[in-house]
Structure 1
């Protein structure tokens, strides 16, 4: 792909019949059709919705062609786009809409009810479907011009943190002083940095686009002329069928999806055609080493791991790097800076654990409407989200836990991630979460919540087996003091565990009780 042809609009002009997107229901757009629809929507956002540079659009949409056209239109309109998790309640949506001061809200049919209740007539609402309290999405496009706007200032995503431990916060960057074409070129770095440019030939979106980890490579694919395949909903069987049917070359996944794929019968896994995959990007949650080793044995050396967040830079662990240093999340990308600080603010040497601070380029990030949180997260020009880790002598980062998750058991620091990784190696454990519980003697103790798969053991026998399994892998102080069998854990679709919802009071535990 030539340097001159970066950006979806260049492909629309040069190869209008080139396939661009196919959605979960078989509807598709060529690049010519995509370019025309994005331009119509751009004109509509200005002429119908009355948006100006610096305004904010809130989007509560499921994976769809129209969600992608809204993203591309926003990125050539000089506005902020806030993608909101469509699983949120009306109250949660209302908080984000108000906090980001959205000038207009756009939603899918499936989220129209709670979005309309959240907006309550305070902000213009457009729905990709029909709702009595909203205008149809087509009001933004019908009758609009399909030509390229004369002015195309670059927009920006304003992403809200997941809110797993409290109210989500908007991560806001200054709008770029550039046009949309320059903005499009910034997405190319992802594939270049990872050394996986050929993976965007057919990119599968297998998780919600409201998460930046899924939207970023999807946007990069369109700017590089690849074909985008959308899933809306996910099962292991559906994923494998989609990969085989479309000849998928790349995708982004989370460890929860790996777990579910590995639970398929061996005969199903052996029959699956995954030979087209050239790169599987994964992150968003810690991946236990045994799980990744099994996935590498199945898919081959195509797993590219990253560590990062909405706020900070990125590290990269390419397949050969991870195989040489199992457990690493990689080294900083070329535009990222990484430092490890102790509690007193001193940078620590290699091999010493501390708090991970990072920055992407000269990025200046702030938490919207929360300068105090911004101030506390910064140090030496870098930002932290509270993760703990160390770097080895070659600069590879290894994560050890999260400071907010820390459990202090009789004065000993215990990190739930280590316990969860050990639990997940038990053959009947499908998912696990560990949190702190108060203890009159030790102050705090770890308590585990486990989702089990059918097998030879259940109830008390299964808990005893899991406890023995942990005892063989963990120091006694790290072993769960109690273990609850549950039907499922409160995770978002990107695999992040809502630890604030995980407690012995909040979770319905199995009737057969817990092991001590």
Structure 2
């Protein structure tokens, strides 16, 4: 089944069944059909890029599907992204329009701003890029850089979603909780599109994540399928929390969850299906799944078997993924990234170091790119460095993270900036300037300024 089978009526029916765990802001009175008509009426070429930077909720989902059904290219972005950062991303993507909860006059230059679905819509003067109808851009800036997007066909994303739900046994009787940000490729494809193809009921929550709210939502909304990042799963294990019924399936993706935490999670929840998943945005995004509750402990260090239609091989210790859901091209990328490079159409070099054992199980040993997780969010250390090095008088920067992986709020990002010794900015000034360039999770808690003597200024 391809994207065109998910027409206005079917998507409207799906969205009508979506619930919000906590009441969100006013989503406007427009129906999905009216939103589709509004986007279709914009003076834009088919496939024009529309950036949506809104919090999780039904309003976000309605606008995402409306842009798609209108024949344009939606791209989701963190709602906490500072306006200056959004401007840069929109420029690199050649975006035609932007949707945010509120847009202040002057934030986006000469953009024409109007209200739509309880939000502000800014139309940029150009230049614009159009990719044709039926496309979606998934942002991978958490690991690859400031403004890296991957162009996918909606049909390929739906195919990947269908393979994912099959691998975890999700069906129309399930209620799925989305507590991860919808701009994560996992949340959008595996959970939102996965629930669309499976016919599951969808409940949309945060972020931010709290254990108390999570457990209350699972009980109160009768959630049967949930997904967490490894750091959130570890925090529940560390607290000794037994997950409540009717939850029957928990998927954990992102970084690898070590075998000890898997064993403890299974011991706390003997009747729970625990699925460890592996993927990357460039692959569309899911690659493999391990049904940990059905595997012996020695398998818990792996990320399981490739999904149907996916092949994982190894070249020089790097994992390669071949699939008909691999992205077609990178867009909006100011500087090339080694992670996720296309070897050839349909074959992506993951940038992950690992191997495939004789039984076909995929093992990931680490990533060749430098990224970390801060407050449950993926953060590109290279992106933080580049932002710091864009400041006046900063010659170079070095970022590192210190954290306790049992506490999602304890991660501390530290930044050393090396500056010229003429009019050097203070640590407080660097912090102030970075606030307009970085998201909350990317902002360092500690900044150290180191003057460099003349002759060492090598930007």
TM-score past 0.5 threshold: yes
User: Could you report, residue by residue, the CA deviation over 1:157-200 in whole angstroms, capped at 9, with x for unpaired residues?
Assistant: 20221244642311123x56x7xxx98676433212x1412376
- Deviation of 1:373 after TM superposition, in Å, equals 3.1
* 2:42 is equivalent to residue 41 of structure 1: no
1:297 to 257, 263, 267: 267
CA separation of 1:291 and 1:170: change in aligned 2, threshold 3 A: same
Aligned residue for 1:243?
218
1:286 to 237, 256, 259: 256
- Deviation of 1:201 after TM superposition, in Å, equals 2.0
Name the count of aligned residue pairs.
386
Aligned residue for 2:80?
87
* 2:22 is equivalent to residue 25 of structure 1: yes
Aligned residue for 1:167?
146
SS at match of 1:281: strand
- Deviation of 1:279 after TM superposition, in Å, equals 1.9
1:310 to 281, 303, 309: 281
CA separation of 1:497 and 1:316: change in aligned 2, threshold 3 A: farther
- Deviation of 1:129 after TM superposition, in Å, equals 4.2
Cα distance between partner residues in 1 of 2:369 and 2:140:
15
Aligned residue for 2:411?
488
SS at match of 2:355: strand
Cα distance between partner residues in 2 of 1:239 and 1:91:
33
Does structure 1 retain, via aligned residues, the 8 Å contact 2:54–2:99?
A: yes
Q: How does 1:173-192 map to 2 (within 5 A)?
A: 173=152, 175=153, 187-192=161-166
Higher strand fraction: Structure 1 or Structure 2? Answer: 2
Aligned residue for 2:171?
198
CA separation of 1:120 and 1:290: change in aligned 2, threshold 3 A: farther
CA separation of 1:370 and 1:255: change in aligned 2, threshold 3 A: closer
User: Could you report, residue by residue, the CA deviation over 1:342-376 in whole angstroms, capped at 9, with x for unpaired residues?
Assistant: 1xxxxxxxxxxx01121322745322155983799
Question: Which protein shows a greater Rg?
Answer: 1
Q: How does 1:403-414 map to 2 (within 5 A)?
A: 403-405=368-370
Query: What do you get for the CA RMSD once the two structures are aligned?
Result: 4.4
Cα distance between partner residues in 1 of 2:97 and 2:295:
45
User: Could you report, residue by residue, the CA deviation over 1:273-322 in whole angstroms, capped at 9, with x for unpaired residues?
Assistant: x2212222221222222222222222344121221111126122123247
SS at match of 1:256: helix
CA separation of 1:105 and 1:499: change in aligned 2, threshold 3 A: closer
* 2:312 is equivalent to residue 359 of structure 1: no
Cα distance between partner residues in 2 of 1:91 and 1:261:
36
Cα distance between partner residues in 2 of 1:488 and 1:27:
28
CA separation of 1:128 and 1:497: change in aligned 2, threshold 3 A: closer
SS at match of 1:119: coil
- Deviation of 1:203 after TM superposition, in Å, equals 0.8
* 2:94 is equivalent to residue 101 of structure 1: yes
CA separation of 1:162 and 1:183: change in aligned 2, threshold 3 A: closer
Cα distance between partner residues in 1 of 2:254 and 2:108:
30
- Deviation of 1:400 after TM superposition, in Å, equals 1.0
Does structure 2 retain, via aligned residues, the 8 Å contact 1:327–1:398?
A: yes
Aligned residue for 2:420?
none
CA separation of 1:500 and 1:202: change in aligned 2, threshold 3 A: same
SS at match of 2:314: strand
Greater Cα offset, 57-66 or 360-369 = 360-369
User: Could you report, residue by residue, the CA deviation over 1:402-457 in whole angstroms, capped at 9, with x for unpaired residues?
Assistant: 2234xxxxxxxxxx99xx9xxxxxxxxx99x9x9xxxxxxxxxx987233889xxx
TM-score normalised by length of structure 1: 0.63
Greater Cα offset, 36-45 or 55-64 = 36-45
Aligned residue for 1:254?
229
Cα distance between partner residues in 2 of 1:39 and 1:310:
29
SS at match of 2:51: strand
Whose RCO is larger (CA < 8 A, sep 6+)? 2
